[in-house]
Structure 1
Amino acid sequence: MVVNARAISDEINWPDITLVVNARAISEEINWPDVTMVVNAITISEEINWPDVTMVVNAITISDEINWPDITLVVNAITISEEINWPDVTMVVNARAISEEINCPDITLVVNARAISEEINWPDITLVVNARAICEEIKWPDITMVVKARAISEEINWPDITLVVNARVISEEIKFPDIPMVVKARAISEEINWSDITMVVNAKAISEEINWADITMVVNE
């Protein structure tokens, strides 16, 4: 073993023979023929204080493959990937970075949001993460709808997201594109106990047009 290690040591220009001997043993153990890689993995393993050398070897391969130099992040991502049963490590690596960036510790949520973000072609991942949480909270499965509603909610400064989601549906249903108007009409509709939202939307529009604040009066008219 040491004779082989000595040859390898010269070959890969790595003077620490003990390290190479260990690497040679690990190399055979994990059935990984590239001893240089294993030597690097052992060094990194000690450096990032991560005893599972096989994991580090895999992380190095993935790190090279996805061109992501932060090996600690990749190691963590592999662990998380197995933990949340999500095989796409690149996705988890990106999610891990985003998770720290937007300060959202729930990595599963961020991974799902990342996937949804690409699927619905919505680049603002923070918005999608929030929408995902809201989606579960208000029991509304259509994430695209909630993402759009969340954006509208911020745009028109209306915090009741459920109302905005409902308004978004009504907006498409009654073919009325002015969402803020529908949101207000929906609120008024509940306030004056008038279920015909189309009527209230029209009344709201007329109310602003004729500068008449009493919406109930306009609805009745």
Structure 2
Amino acid sequence: MLALPMTLNTTAETETAKIARGLRERDMELLADLVERYQHRLVRYMLYLTGRREYAEDLAQETWIRVLQRGSQYNGRQRFDPWLFAIARNLAIDYLRKKRKAVQTVSLPDDHDAVLLLPSSGPSPFEAAARSQDAMRLAGRLQILAPLYREALLLRFQEDMSLPEIAQVVGAPVTTVSSRIYRGLAALRCAFEEGDSHGE
């Protein structure tokens, strides 16, 4: 009965080891396969972070250049996704710092006990909107959230990363990631309620 989980684990390790070896060897066929598998997700992530498709596509391309340059740094012991998104995130941060403009953000109190707990039954505002015709409204509301909250929501609900994987991407403790997700959901709910009250 233990053979199946061990086999699955070995398969996962083999896949990540194959990626690590291919990146070390600058295997262009492997890179092309990775681009095909992850490009859509990468552009989507960058689009939500930057708000501009042309910038998102440029940053996604730059991410792949960095992957090729720094391939030897991927050790193959964890999933490839968090490592890839960490590179993308750093590029997005550099971009946002350079292009920083005064933007309206939905802010919440710093009190860790405030607005953190949301009802656990039913889909979150993020999930409900993402699955419905409100996808465009969701994209707009995400842009007015503070970047840390927006990023946590995207990685958790859109990229389906675990809390430890998100922590790896953003370089923060799991407890911080969890707090950002709760705060992001609360801020998103406030943004939708405010929009609804203005007839949007």
Tell me the TM-score normalised to structure 1 length. 0.22
Tell me the TM-score normalised to structure 2 length. 0.24
Structure showing greater relative contact order (alpha-carbon pairs closer than 8 Å, 6 or more residues apart):
2
Q: Which has the larger radius of gyration?
A: 1
